[in-house]
Amino acid sequence: MKAKKIGVLLLWVMSVTLAQAELPSAVSLSTPAVPPVEAIVLGAPTRVVTLDGRSQFWIDSTGKFSVEQVAAAGDALPWELRQRNARYRISDQALWFRFDAVVPDDSRWYLELGSSSIDRVQLFYHLPDGRWRTQEAGQARPVSSWPLPGRLPTFELAPGSQQPVRYYLRAELSRFDFASPLVIHSQAALLTSRQAEQFLLGAFFGLAALIGFLAFANAVVHRDRSFAVYTVYVVTLAFGQVAYLGLGAQHVWTDWLRWNQMSTFVLAGATTAAALWFVRTVTEPARFSRVLDFSVLALIAAVLGAVAVDTLVASQRSLALLLIFTAVGLVAALLMVVVVWSVGDDPYVRLMALGFLPAVVMAMFPVARGLNLIAANGLTRYGLSVGAAVQILILFYVLSLRGSRRREADVRSAALSRTDALTGLAHHRSLQHRLESTLARCLKQKHACALLAVKLANYDALVSEYGRDVSEKALVVTASLLRSTITDIDLAARVGNHEFTLLLEGPTTAEAATSCAQQVIARGLQQSAALPATVSLKFNVAVAMLPDKGFDADGCVAWLRDAVNAIRPDARRAIRPMNF
């Protein structure tokens, strides 16, 4: 009886073998306990369905099975249930999935693979006339020839079927494990998902383009080497994301298939090298340790060397080497910023470390995915884009602050020809030229301007009680108060040791000039953090509406200075109108 059962089984296997004459002999057929999977019934209210737990997989170790052979073998192949977050190592092999689905007559549904880095992927199903319908996508062919062109391989399921249709999905991936999500979308859900992606990715790349342009402009205008290197870093980072997210194959290098297959890894290494170069430029580690500086240069060379090796060899080991150097390089960049922060005196290095932290943390997810440590998910796909957006904003802000501080001395030096060295206000000669042109314009257009002479009445008392240091601070505070009182088109100037003028360009009124004088006096009585708590600034102000009495610019200034000096320091009325 037992021998009879064995004979029947052998005859059945032989019949299957004869039915597929081209079946590779290296694959053994068996009758495993195939886990049952019910057909997926698509339709409202369901809009998105994952194939986790609802499909079966089988790895073809020869990579030579055709869909006809797989369909003919049926359950004789060792199919297994696909689990959530499953990863499959299929180098030089082929990964097959099968599932059944029912599509309503009034809707269209699509199967989307959540990765743009698949070498080749095909979807097969039987047409009503018995022929096979084949759709193919992946990096081995241009995106324009995909069934549904886009960032991710997407296939349309058989439209309107009352009975379940069996689908077979075949995937090839040589350099890392297959861990792509397999999700069925309704047409509306797919369009909504892609529109949201386009909005978010457009925002990211728009931001990167803007920051890159501004950084390049700063590098050219101010001849700032830090901004120049930062521009290189932003550009390589942006193009690295273009490649990784599949936008390069879709929009940029549409027909460069070889470059499309290698661009993700080449640009990842180039971005890491650019990040190290940028950090070395802004932190200048040679100031603290020649060994540290040499180590950074050696790591840059090692990363670029790993890129070259992976480009030439293109194996799993070379990719692992490149990804390890990438992770080490990013962590080293962050650590170098932290080290310089701890031993240096740059007040902005802390912000720089804060900027690098999110990008380094988020970069670990795609690196771990490339090293087959985790499955593909939202963080592996979009985490680095989020971290990079935060990073480039913070770093640009830090560089702007550093650049402003470094250029401040140059700006002050260049301005000495027209401003007062201590207060930064216009000096007497600048006031004279400005007032001459203002008076001429007032005469021509027949309107009035105002000139205020402001004297720090308690300056001598501050010198005798607190010394020269506090008195000079009082002059600087006075200059700040005067600037905050007037508009951008008006002018504040220092015309004496503790005497100032405010030119209110016309047209203006006596009421507006008096209000400005009152604001000056009131602000002087307020406490300033730069001065001792017991110190307040007492101002005397003389106000005149111009033109008047045929005075030229020098005559007007002298008239107002004489008037303000004539006001006693202890006078009850601190404002003296001259001609109204």
Residue ranges making up the domain that contains 386: 197-413
Token representation of residue 578:
């001259």
User: Within a domain: residue 107?
Assistant: yes
Residues 234 and 383 in one domain: yes
Q: Is the pTM of this model over 0.85?
A: no
pLDDT in tens, 408-458: 666 666 656 678 888 889 988 889 999 999 999 999 988 999 999 999 999
111: burial class by Cβ within 10 Å (0-12, 13-18, 19+)?
buried
Domain tally for the chain?
Answer: 3
Is the CB of residue 450 less than 8 Å from the CB of residue 504? yes
User: Within a domain: residue 420?
Assistant: no
Beta bridge partners of 165: 101
Name the DSSP letter for residue 252: I
Instruction: Express as a percent the part of the chain with pLDDT over 90.
Output: 51
Task: Show which of 148, 180, 212 is a domain's final residue.
Answer: 180
Q: Return averaged pLDDT per consecutive 10 residues of the chain, 580 residues in all.
A: 39 36 41 70 88 94 94 93 89 93 89 91 92 93 92 91 90 88 93 90 94 94 91 95 90 88 91 93 83 90 93 86 90 85 74 85 86 80 89 91 73 66 87 92 91 94 90 92 91 93 90 94 90 91 90 92 88 89
Residues 292 and 434 in one domain: no
Residues 255 and 398 in one domain: yes
Token representation of residue 412:
């002050």
pLDDT in tens, 372-403: 788 777 788 888 898 999 999 999 998 988 88
Residues 77 and 218 in one domain: no
Residues 131 and 32 in one domain: yes
Task: Show which of 348, 379, 413 is a domain's final residue.
Answer: 413
Cα separation, 399 vs 69, in Å, equals 62
Which secondary-structure segment (H or E) carries 60? Answer: strand 56-60
Task: Give 302-337 as a DSSP string.
Answer: HHHHHHHHHHHH--HHHHHHHHHHHHHHHHHHHHHH
Is the CB of residue 346 less than 8 Å from the CB of residue 287? no
What CATH number is attached to the domain comprising 444? Answer: 3.30.70.270
Q: How many residues does the chain have?
A: 580
Residues 550 and 505 in one domain: yes
Token representation of residue 420:
């007062």
Task: Give 375-439 as a DSSP string.
Answer: ---HHHHHHHHHHHHHHHHHHHHHHHHHHHHHHHHHHHHHHTTTB-TTT-SB-HHHHHHHHHHHH
Cα separation, 347 vs 344, in Å, equals 9
Beta bridge partners of 123: 135, 169
User: Within a domain: residue 43?
Assistant: yes
Residues 288 and 157 in one domain: no
Residues 534 and 568 in one domain: yes
Which secondary-structure segment (H or E) carries 274? Answer: helix 257-283
Q: Indicate the residue type of 482.
A: L
Beta strands in 114-245 (DSSP E): 120-126, 132-137, 154-156, 165-172, 182-186
Task: Show which of 368, 383, 413 is a domain's final residue.
Answer: 413
pLDDT in tens, 248-260: 988 888 888 888 8
Supply φ then ψ for residue 193, to 5 degrees.
Answer: -60, -45
User: Within a domain: residue 524?
Assistant: yes
User: Within a domain: residue 214?
Assistant: yes
